[in-house]
Structure formats: structure tokens, C-alpha cells
Amino acid sequence: MAGSPEDSRATRPPRPSTVFAYIIRRLIGAVILLFVVSLVTFSIFFLVPRIAGASVEDMASRYVGKTADAETIRQMAEKLGFTDPLLTQYGRFISAIFVGADYSTGPTTVHCPAPCLGYSFITQNPVWPDLVDRMGVTISLAVGAAVIWLLLGISTGVLSALRRGTVFDRAAMGVALAGVSLPIFFTGLLSLTIFSYGLGWAVPGGTYVNFADDPLAWAGALILPWVTLAFLNAAGYARLTRATMLETMNEDFIRTARAKGLNERTVVVKHGLRSVLTPIITIFGLDLGILLGGAVLTESAYSLPGLGAYAINAIVNNDLPKVLGVTLVGATFIIIANLVVDLLYAVVDPRVKYS
């Protein structure tokens, strides 16, 4: 086990300049990736239907009322720019991100400032401010739940591994299995029925208070979604932690640590747990990224006005600019989360280098 955590040579932090260069490289990669995501998403919404045989009028017909005639639909298609070549449309979308765009509201014109991620012609609103507005809810939900599930999942997993085969282990793993198996739209509604409408301990669905307005009420409103969401994820983490921990505790370096006469607590926490963290961080990065992109089911079960619920409404209403905007923001979160995870590897596992 060359390069085990005991190897003092490797615990030196990487040189800042190397890390900086690495980050720059990754950021450039991220921008290219986002560009590709935007191109693919744009194609799915605007190119694929055309290939499938939809006319520009067919596409515009989603943005007119139910009694519109052919003339109105044609005018709407022109207004939305669907009659322009696709490349021009894509160029317009990309340029709006950097320099903004103007949209007519009837008597006046609204400027959608950069980064303008499109303009919803159904709600008549630029997409970006909507997303910013809803991000607070999603971040609150994601971060709170993540803290709970990490603490709960990892500690349960470690304890289960250390007490393998005991009643605690079996019970915890049984509950964990239930946690991964039960869908949130079921546990969500059930928890609301019991704790909110039955016992009156929690607020009803659809309640959200800004953190800045009242931190206590903010936490109070989110505790139920946090716990439900955390339960779902904690279960997976507990099972993963338990499995990795069991594997790690049989490794040579653990035996070495014990042989050196370290107490069991140090062995478990400092040596064992540290190697368990690498796989945990890997999936945590992905999970958190996905969650920030919109905890779709949780938000709709609890009627929270976050990015996930926004995405669902956009899809239901065929509001393509919104779907495009949410997709890009979600992709950004996942890319950032992955970058952070890669950087964290160095802190947790000294074998990782960025040169």
C-alpha cells in the first residue's frame, strides 16, 4: 500500500500553481461541455421536431390560444423567429446569454439582460430571473437535506459495519432498504398527512419562508422535506459506507495502525473513515449536483417553488425556453459539483495529484 494515508511524503498539499492550472483547465472544459449541452438540448427541442416532420406552424401552435386561426399561428411563428434558419435561431439564443436580448410586450419592449437564458412566451417573462428566484428554494432544500443524509448515512453505515451482524446492523440495513425503495411522492404525501395534517407538528405543503426573512421559520418549513429527502438518500449512503467500511477494516494499513498501538477510535475515524470518504464524495458530488438542478419529485410532492417544480411546469406547458434554461443551469451545477469533488479528492486521498 504505497501511498497509504500514513505516507507523510504524500500528505503534502499540492502546489497552488498546479491546482490553479488544473482548475483553469477544468473550467475551460466545463465551458465547452456546457456549449455542447446547449447545442444538444437546443437540437432536441428545435431540430428534432423539424426532422420528425413538424412545420414551423406546428411548433408555434403551442404558443397561441386554443381558438387561434392559421393566420395568427403564422404570425406567432414569425414573431418567435421559428421561420428563421435554425443556425440563426441558435446563434440568437447563444448571443442572448452574453449580450441579452429584447422582447416586445405589446406597447413597450423588455430588455432581457445577460445572461439571458431565453424568454418564456407563455408566461411572458425572461427565464433567468425566474431561475434565480427559485434557486434559493432548491439550494435550501438540497443543502439541508445533504447535511442530514451525510451525517445520518455515514454514521449509520460506520456503526453497522463495526457491529456487523448485530440487531442494530440488521435493523439499520432493513430501514435503509426501505428508504431506497420507497418513492418520495409516497413518503412525501404520507409524511404530510401524518405530521402536518394529522399531528400538526409540521407546516402544510407549499410553505416556504426566505432564510433572510426568518431563519427559524425557514428551517421549520423545510424540516419535513429535508428529512424525507435525506431518508431516501441516507439509506443509499449507509449501505455504501457499510460495504466500503467492511472492506477497509480488513486492509493491511488498518492492521498496521492497530499494531502500532493506536486506540480503536483513532483507527476507525482517522484511518478507516478517511478511505471510505473517497467513494462517498464521488457519489455525493453527483447527487448534490442533480439535486441542485432540481429535486423534481420532492419539490412537487411538497409543492415547493424551486427549480424542479419549475422544470415540471415548463415541461407540462411545453414552455421550451424554460426547459432549455433549467437544463443549462442543472448541467452547470453538475459540472461544478464534479469539479469540486475532483478537488476534494486531494484533501481526502493524498495519492491524487493534479499535475
Partner 1 sequence: MRKQRLVTMVAAGAAAVMTLSACGGGGGSSNNNNKGGGNPSATGPNAAIGKVFNPSDKKGGTLRMANAGDWDSLDPGDTYYAYSWNFIRLYGRSLMMFASAPGQDGAKLTPDLAESKGVPSEDLKTWTYKIRKGVKFDDGTPVTSKDVKYGVSRSLDKDTFPNGPTYFNEFLDLQGYTSPYKDSDPNGLGLKAIETPDDQTIVFKLKKPFADFDYFAGMPATMPVPKAKDDGTKYKEHVVSTGPYKFEKVELGKSFTLVRNTNWDQATDPNRKALPDKITMQLNVNADDLDNRLMSGDLDVDVVGSGVQPAAQAKILADPNLKNASDNPLSARLWYTNINGEVAPLDNIECRKAVEYAADRTGYQRAYGGNAGGEIASSLLPPIIPGAEKIDLYPSKDSAGDVDKAKEALTKCGQPNGFETNISYRAERPKEKATAESLQQSLGRVGIKLNIKPYPTGDYAKLYAGKPDFAKSNNLGLMVFGWAADWPNGFGFLKEITDSRNIKAAGNTNFSIKDPKVNDAIDKAMTEKDENARQKAWVDVDRKAMESAYALPGVVAKGLYYRPKNLTNVFITDGFSEYDYLALGVSG
192 interacts with partner 1 by CB under 8 A: yes
Of 113-142, binders to partner 1 (CB under 8 A) are: 123-125, 130
Binding mask 147-186 for partner 1 (x = CB under 8 A): ----------------------------------------
**Among the residue ranges 64-72, 88-96, 223-231, 252-260, the one whose residues contact partner 1 (CB under 8 A):** 64-72
Tell me which residue has cell 455525493.
284
Nearer to partner 1 (CB atom), residue 80 or residue 268: 80
Cell numbers describing residue 69: 386561426
Smallest gap from Cβ 288 to partner 1, in A, equals: 24
Amino acid at 267: V
Smallest gap from Cβ 116 to partner 1, in A, equals: 16
Smallest gap from Cβ 321 to partner 1, in A, equals: 14
Nearer to partner 1 (CB atom), residue 27 or residue 48: 48
Nearer to partner 1 (CB atom), residue 69 or residue 252: 69
Nearer to partner 1 (CB atom), residue 189 or residue 246: 189
310 interacts with partner 1 by CB under 8 A: yes
Longest dimension (CA), the chain: 85
Nearer to partner 1 (CB atom), residue 297 or residue 334: 297
296 interacts with partner 1 by CB under 8 A: no
**Among the residue ranges 18-26, 105-113, 212-220, 330-338, the one whose residues contact partner 1 (CB under 8 A):** 105-113
193 interacts with partner 1 by CB under 8 A: yes
Smallest gap from Cβ 318 to partner 1, in A, equals: 5
Member of 97, 176, 277, 309 binding partner 1 (CB under 8 A): 309
- Answer whether 96's CB lies under 8 Å from 321's CB: no
Give the chain as a 3 state SS string: CCCCCCCCCCCCCCCHHHHHHHHHHHHHHHHHHHHHHHHHHHHHHHHHHHHCCCCHHHHHHHHCCCCCCHHHHHHHHHHCCCCCCHHHHHHHHHHHHHHCEEEECCCCEEEECCCCCCEECCCCEEHHHHHHHHHHHHHHHHHHHHHHHHHHHHHHHHHHHHCCCCHHHHHHHHHHHHHHHCCHHHHHHHHHHHHHHHCCCCCCCCCCCCCCCCHHHHHHHHHHHHHHHHHHHHHHHHHHHHHHHHHHHCCHHHHHHHHCCCCHHHHHHHHHHHHHHHHHHHHHHHHHHHHHCCCHHHHHHCCCCCHHHHHHHHHHCCCHHHHHHHHHHHHHHHHHHHHHHHHHHHHHCCCCCCC
Member of 206, 214, 260, 270 binding partner 1 (CB under 8 A): 206
Nearer to partner 1 (CB atom), residue 211 or residue 253: 211
Nearer to partner 1 (CB atom), residue 156 or residue 300: 300
Member of 8, 17, 51, 70 binding partner 1 (CB under 8 A): 70
Smallest gap from Cβ 146 to partner 1, in A, equals: 23
The CA dihedral of 136, 342, 149, 289, to the nearest 10 degrees, is 40
Smallest gap from Cβ 194 to partner 1, in A, equals: 6
Cell numbers describing residue 188: 412525501
308 interacts with partner 1 by CB under 8 A: no
62 interacts with partner 1 by CB under 8 A: yes
Which residues have a Cβ under 8 Å from the Cβ of 246 and sit 6 or more positions away? Answer: 161, 164
Question: What does the binding site for partner 1 look like in residue numbers (CB under 8 A)?
Answer: 54, 57-58, 61-70, 72-73, 75-76, 79, 104-108, 110, 123-125, 130, 189-190, 192-194, 196-198, 204-206, 300-303, 305, 309-310, 313, 316-318
